[in-house]
Amino acid sequence: MENNDSFTKLKESTQKLFDAQKKRLNNEDRIETTKNNVIAKHCLKVL
Q: How far apart are CA 28 and CA 24, in angstroms?
A: 6
| pLDDT in the model for residue 1 | 53
**pTM of this prediction exceeds 0.85:** no
Residue pLDDT, tens place only, 1-47: 567 899 999 999 999 999 999 999 999 999 999 999 999 999 998 87
Number of domains in the chain: 1
Give me the domain span that covers residue 18.
1-47
Positive or negative torsion for Cα 32, 33, 34, 39: positive
**C-alpha 12 chain-centroid distance:** 18
